[in-house]
Amino acid sequence: MKIDVFERGFSPTPIQELTGVCPKNRVFLKREDFLPFSFGGNKVRKARHFYREIQTQSADVVMTYGSSSSNHCRIIANMAAAMGLPCHIISPEENYKDTPNSRMVQRFGAVVEKVPLSGISQAIEARRAAYQKSGKNPYFIQGGGHGDPGTAAYVECYEEIRRWEQEREISFDYIFHVSGTGTTQAGLVCGLLACGRQAHTRIVGLSNARTLERGRPVVVQSALSWLEHVYALQTGRRILEDTVEQAVCFEDAWRLGGYGCYNSAVLGTVDEMMKRYGIPMDTTYVGKGFWAMTEYVKREGLTGKKILFLHTGGTPLFFEERPGEERAE
């Protein structure tokens, strides 16, 4: 079955100005949390590209990997249900939590197969082979919507940003966003390079989990993969690896000990953004990243800049219980 909002009227998402966030600079927010499917967020933008591949390949089972509490698994389970397809999630048993996302995943009827972290790749291969043996045509989506289709989604997002800039004769000096699996960043960077805008705008990925050593090479590799497999084929043009390396700015100074860790400044940001602007942000991704952006602006002493922050969604996480989470001060 088709999903109407994936076919038309999906985006652009709105961009709004926020006064009083980083004094002496102008700050804008692009609301990816408003994408019109399953509470929005960057995983929906990616899912729409996987949706197209599922249709092209006439797949009849959707498989993915991830925690059932993740935004990714909620959205893939929702998409599969909307398409009338079964959804099979391989999930690390160590990370299981009862959350708004995991409850939605259940309600969408996805099968969640809990596997110890050490046995994930074997479990995925075994399950895929079993489906194929029974005459099915499974489509597997990497955790977090990683891979060329996910990257392509954020190339499109960059193009939306560029059109908005052109219509208003404005040019962002910085684009900030939270970098997790690195796909969002890879896509934005590819979009920037494809438009030749790297001298004008700096894209800064604020890591919420991975260290620089682990996270940055993944962003670079994802960008190179899309540039080779998609961009070069479509345009006949090449972008040098060096150029990509220079355009990937990955900051791990505010990861606070890693995934799920936050401090009182992050909590303060989350409360302030909701109270003052009515904008929900969560402590795992967007609230933490938004706080990190304000710290970056202070550290670099930025003034007179036009800054865009990408609100990548995660709205259901806003309603998670806080005390159960790991904390770091």
Ligand X SMILES: *Cc1c(COP(=O)(O)O)cnc(C)c1O
Non-local CB neighbours of 46 within 8 Å, separated by 6+ positions: 145, 149, 150, 153, 154, 183
Binding status of residue 285 toward ligand X by CB under 6 A: yes
How far apart are CB 30 and ligand X at their closest, in Å?
A: 12
How far apart are CB 315 and ligand X at their closest, in Å?
A: 8
Q: Which of 6, 28, 37, 43 is close enough to bind ligand X by CB under 6 A?
A: 43
# residues contacting ligand X (CB under 6 A): 18
Q: Determine the Cα–Cα distance for residues 85 and 42; give it in Å rounded to an integer.
A: 22
> Binding pattern to ligand X, positions 173-192, x when CB under 6 A?
-----xxxxxxxx-------
Q: Determine the Cα–Cα distance for residues 312 and 158; give it in Å rounded to an integer.
A: 13
How far apart are CB 114 and ligand X at their closest, in Å?
A: 21
Binding status of residue 115 toward ligand X by CB under 6 A: no
Helices (H), 66-211: 71-83, 100-107, 120-133, 148-168, 183-194
Q: What is the CA radius of gyration of the chain?
A: 19
Q: Determine the Cα–Cα distance for residues 161 and 155; give it in Å rounded to an integer.
A: 10
Binding status of residue 144 toward ligand X by CB under 6 A: yes
Residue 310 sits at the vertex; the CA angle it makes with 16 and 76, to the nearest 5 degrees, is 120
Listed ranges 7-15, 237-245, 270-278, 310-318: which one lies at the site for ligand X (CB under 6 A): 310-318
User: Can you tell me whether residue 201 is helix, strand or coil?
Assistant: coil
How far apart are CB 187 and ligand X at their closest, in Å?
A: 8
Q: Determine the Cα–Cα distance for residues 66 and 112; give it in Å rounded to an integer.
A: 10
How far apart are CB 313 and ligand X at their closest, in Å?
A: 4
DSSP 8-state assignment for residue 227 = I
Q: Which of 191, 280, 314, 316 is close enough to bind ligand X by CB under 6 A?
A: 314
Name which of 2 and 97 has its Cβ closer to ligand X. Answer: 97
Listed ranges 38-46, 58-66, 233-241, 319-327: which one lies at the site for ligand X (CB under 6 A): 38-46
Listed ranges 41-49, 121-129, 268-276, 318-326: which one lies at the site for ligand X (CB under 6 A): 41-49
Phi, psi of 325 (to 5 degrees): -80, 155
Name which of 136 and 259 has its Cβ closer to ligand X. Answer: 259
Residue (of 184, 152, 146, 169) closest to 30 by Cα position = 184
Binding status of residue 147 toward ligand X by CB under 6 A: no
Name which of 92 and 313 has its Cβ closer to ligand X. Answer: 313
- On whether the CB atoms of residues 48 and 54 are closer than 8 A, the answer is no
Q: Determine the Cα–Cα distance for residues 328 and 15; give it in Å rounded to an integer.
A: 32
How far apart are CB 258 and ligand X at their closest, in Å?
A: 14
How far apart are CB 204 and ligand X at their closest, in Å?
A: 13
Subset of residues 45 to 84 that bind ligand X, contact rule: CB under 6 A: 71
Point out which residues bind ligand X (CB under 6 A). Answer: 41-43, 71, 144, 178-185, 285-286, 312-314
